[in-house]
């Protein structure tokens, strides 16, 4: 039986010793997730495309446990670099794929270029980062991959055909990865937030935002709580959670 004294560090720092690769870490939910992972003891490789003063300040505070890797995770070169940077910590336990964009407009007016770019960033990026992360995880015979999706992947949302399709694709990817690599002790989970108070949710136009918020039984979501959910899924306490979608949307009206 574990003594209370021995258990205390794990309770304070449930991610101590774990190395997490996080995409889309520059702002919004990704930035909050990076902060939460660090607060719980993880070492983090944080990927971002655009400059982020907040992430730079976080790196200054956690020089020994946070490495920043700028670049487009939907390119083969950056995806490979990210996995390699994680290995400099000696291991890669968890991948959190959060990077995403949106190009919202009615389907009949959507340029092909917008559709393709959303799929490239949101879905191809997940494929590439997973591909390189899994190679490291197979060698260690352990790994967890967390995909940040959206409740719209389950419900649909007018004006978001490209975004919802890309996020729904993450669900299929997660289920397939969990089946292909179960023998290597690699697990997946998909987090599907509702509308949040930061990031893409904060950028939604007023009338649409009100409609989406009104559908949630608990109203506008706090991104910090979803970040805590992601951190829990990255921890040993979630090792038996696999091949499932966890909704952090407050419950929805239909």
Give the residue from 226, 159, 162, 166 showing the smallest Cα distance to 198: 226
State the SS3 of 33-48: HHHHHHHCCCEEEEEE
Read off the pLDDT of each residue in 155-175 and give the average, rounded to a whole number: 96
Q: Could you tell me if 14 and 235 are in contact, meaning their C-beta atoms sit under 8 angstroms apart?
A: yes
> Would you call 19 helix, strand, or coil by DSSP?
strand
Give residue-wise pLDDT tens across range 100-154. Answer: 999 999 999 999 999 999 999 999 999 999 999 999 999 999 999 999 999 999 9
Q: What are phi and psi of 16, to 5 degrees?
A: -60, 130
Give the pairing of strands 186-193 and 94-97.
unpaired
Q: What are phi and psi of 118, to 5 degrees?
A: -65, -45
Give residue-wise pLDDT tens across range 3-15. Answer: 444 455 567 899 9
According to the model, what pLDDT value does residue 94 have? 98
Give residue-wise pLDDT tens across range 181-196. Answer: 999 999 999 999 998 8
Q: How many helices (H) and strands (E) does the chain have?
A: 11, 7
Q: How many CB atoms lie within 10 A of CB 120?
A: 15
User: Residue 167 pLDDT > 50, yes or no?
Assistant: yes
Its pTM stands at 0.92
Please compute, for residue 34, the number of CA atoms within 13 A of its CA located in the half-sphere on the CB side: 30
Instruction: Given the residues 132, 147, 163, 181, select the one marked as catalytic.
Output: 163
Read off the pLDDT of each residue in 71-77 and give the average, rounded to a whole number: 98
Q: What are phi and psi of 222, to 5 degrees?
A: -90, 120
Q: Across all residues in the chain, what is the average pLDDT?
A: 92
Q: Please, what sign has the CA dihedral across residues 210, 215, 218, 222?
A: negative
Cα–Cα distance, 22 to 15 (Å, whole number): 14
In which residue are the tokens 């655009």 written? 50
163 is a catalytic site residue? yes
């Amino acid at each position: 039986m574990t003594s209370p004294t021995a258990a205390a560090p794990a309770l304070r720092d449930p991610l101590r010793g774990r190395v997490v690769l996080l995409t889309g870490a520059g702002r919004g939910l990704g930035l909050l997730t990076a902060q939460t992972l660090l607060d719980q003891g993880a070492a983090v490789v944080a990927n971002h495309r655009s400059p982020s003063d907040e992430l730079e300040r976080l790196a200054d505070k956690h020089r020994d446990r946070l490495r920043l890797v700028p670049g487009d995770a939907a390119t083969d070169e950056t995806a490979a670099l990210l996995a390699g940077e994680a290995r400099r910590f000696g291991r890669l336990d968890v991948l959190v794929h959060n990077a995403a964009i949106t190009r919202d407009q009615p389907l009949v007016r959507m340029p092909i270029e917008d559709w393709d770019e959303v799929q490239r960033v949101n879905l191809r990026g997940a494929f590439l980062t997973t591909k390189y992360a899994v190679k490291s995880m197979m060698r260690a015979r352990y790994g967890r991959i967390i995909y940040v999706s959206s409740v719209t992947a389950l419900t649909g949302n007018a004006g978001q055909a490209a975004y919802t399709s890309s996020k729904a694709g993450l669900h299929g990817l997660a289920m397939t990865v969990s089946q292909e690599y179960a023998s290597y002790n690699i697990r997946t989970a998909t987090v599907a937030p509702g509308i949040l108070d930061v990031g893409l949710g904060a950028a939604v136009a007023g009338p649409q935002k009100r409609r989406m918020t009104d559908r949630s039984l608990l109203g506008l979501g706090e991104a910090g709580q979803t970040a805590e959910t992601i951190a829990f899924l990255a921890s040993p306490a979630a090792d038996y959670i696999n091949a499932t979608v966890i909704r952090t949307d407050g419950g929805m009206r239909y």
